[in-house]
Structure 1
Amino acid sequence: MPGVLSENLLGGRLCLQLLPRAPYSARDPAQSQTLGVTLERQQGVHAIDSDRRTDFDTWPGVLAYTPVGVEVFSESASGGEYLLMLLDEQFASEQLPSVAHRVQSCGNRRALTIAREIRRQLLATQPDLLALEQCAVALVDVAGSITDTTQRATPKAFARVMEQIAEQFQHPLTLEQLAATYGHNELRFLRDFTQAIGLTPHAYLIEVRLQAARRLIERTALPLASIALDVGFAHQSHMGSAFRKYLAMTPSQYRSRF
């Protein structure tokens, strides 16, 4: 399994880290100004600048800004892929609002799109530093407009949809099936899901299948054609197209690297 992938940018003023899905338990006051974007659903318990621990269920598309000194405890039995950016104090003070608490924005489509492109570049054998720097600065720009300081409540119906996808991603799923689980018509479900996650239901399903395929490639010697079918892709070339589009490499190249 790949470990943390990192890259220093803008003369060391920024550091990008791609944290892999893995169990973790950590408590630290932020030593740097940090931005984070969830790339994968993650569940666990956390405490933000407090001793009060609460359960969390974080979906992709959550952009969080944590200033220096805010203590964050977080623990998860499985973790989830996460993009972290560390900013030096001067750069952050010039580009980000001055806050004394953690601020976050949910369903941030632009942040998620940028974070996925950063992931694509960090996974590449030779990252394009100019492209990475442009993406990093664009993400800082998005973070500069964060105003929501609270996580929107997760509707129970949405939680049921997420569980349905997690349990059935290997099988064909229709908008009608997912909307029925949500309890509203297809148009309402499509609009609400996309707004909450920052991805359409189909794009989210492809991301879940992609993550599952990555883990099987990293941890098993199964043939790629078998992995493709096991995680719900129609065939190996369908999986290959997803890998090239979102990770900038073929499944074979991914296996060779990781």
Structure 2
Amino acid sequence: MPGVLSHSLLDGQLCLYLLPRAAYSARDPLQWRTLGMTLERQQGVHAIGSDLRVDFDTLPGVLAQTPAGVEVFSESAEGGEYLALRLAPALVEQWLPVLDRRVQQAGHRRGLKLAQTLRRLMLDPHPDGLAIEQCALGFVALGRSVKADGGGAVSDAFLRVLERIAGEFDQPLTLAQLAQTYGENELRLLRDFSRFMGVTPHAYLVEVRLQAARRLIESSDRALAQIALEVGFAHQSHMGSAMRRQLGMTPGAYRLRF
């Protein structure tokens, strides 16, 4: 993935960061209110507001909000793409409720959609400042009603579905196959998947394929048609359509950009 992308808005009182999938170990004594959205599954260990380190397994679609003054330690061997937005205290006083601890909500459909839109806008080699500002303020507004839900704990059966997608994303997976892995019928899988992840199984599969394609495009000189087949797309134009829709650029333009 590319390095950290950032964008400063409202005279520096609002800052956006698109963090890449990469190993990291960081301690951050937060000075500003932070809202974040996981764009990829991320596993590691963290300590939030204490010295107690615990394992975490955060799925895509988790919207988290952390108040200023909370020290956050986080460490991951692989990381995962993550969108973070930070607001100066003056803006927090105007726009967001008082918060004394970190809260997060899983399967946040609107938050994930806004975060993906911000990702696309920030990846653009010629960012549209007004579009970014409007989308960022829409994301801030979500902070008025983030519910604490314990981080969206899911069953081992559901995690097996995600592991199957992670291991077989280059294959033409079917809903019936995923439902069999889940141990439930297709309708139940669709309902639970959308609730836990904020997207359908197909949308998640396409995102996993795109993330894999991005890594190959950035790190190798393989032909784009070969990459498309390796990550599970039917052909290069199929990958191109998905990348234009999600990232706002063609695979060729992405290779030149990063």
TM-score (structure 2 length as normaliser): 0.98
Aligned to 2:44: 44
Aligned to 1:233: 233
| 50-59 vs 34-43, which moves further | 50-59
- CA displacement at 1:129 relative to structure 2: 1.1
CA contact (8 A) 2:61 2:112 kept: yes
Kindly indicate whether residue 163 of structure 2 is the aligned counterpart of residue 188 of structure 1.
no
Please report the RMSD computed on the Cα atoms of aligned residues, expressed in angstroms. 0.9
- CA displacement at 1:147 relative to structure 2: 2.4
2-structure distance, mates of 1:139, 1:236: 33
Aligned to 2:118: 118
2-structure distance, mates of 1:152, 1:115: 18
Aligned to 2:87: 87
2-structure distance, mates of 1:95, 1:183: 44
Aligned to 2:176: 176
Paired letter, 1:44? G
| 125-134 vs 234-243, which moves further | 125-134
Structure 1 segment 1-258 matched on structure 2, within 5 A: 1-148=1-148, 150-258=150-258
2-structure distance, mates of 1:144, 1:237: 41
**Structure 2 unaligned spans of 5+:** none
TM-score (structure 1 length as normaliser): 0.98
2-structure distance, mates of 1:59, 1:147: 16
- CA displacement at 1:133 relative to structure 2: 0.8
- CA displacement at 1:50 relative to structure 2: 1.5
1-structure distance, mates of 2:186, 2:239: 27
Once the two structures are superposed, residues 34-65 of structure 1 have per-residue CA deviations (whole angstroms, 9 ceiling, x without a partner) of 11100001011111111211111111111111
Paired letter, 1:8? S
Paired letter, 1:145? S
CA contact (8 A) 1:102 1:149 kept: no
SS in 2 for 1:11: coil
Once the two structures are superposed, residues 104-130 of structure 1 have per-residue CA deviations (whole angstroms, 9 ceiling, x without a partner) of 111100000000000000000111111
2-structure distance, mates of 1:234, 1:255: 20
1-structure distance, mates of 2:249, 2:128: 14
2-structure distance, mates of 1:234, 1:146: 38
CA contact (8 A) 2:36 2:85 kept: yes
Once the two structures are superposed, residues 202-236 of structure 1 have per-residue CA deviations (whole angstroms, 9 ceiling, x without a partner) of 00000000000000000000000000000000000
- CA displacement at 1:150 relative to structure 2: 2.0
Runs of 4+ with deviation above 4 angstroms: none
**Structure 1 unaligned spans of 5+:** none
| 113-122 vs 42-51, which moves further | 42-51
2-structure distance, mates of 1:132, 1:59: 25
CA contact (8 A) 1:30 1:67 kept: yes
2-structure distance, mates of 1:126, 1:29: 32
- For these two proteins, the number of residue pairs brought into alignment is 258
Once the two structures are superposed, residues 129-182 of structure 1 have per-residue CA deviations (whole angstroms, 9 ceiling, x without a partner) of 111111111111111111215213221011101100000000000000101111
CA contact (8 A) 2:106 2:149 kept: no
2-structure distance, mates of 1:181, 1:236: 29
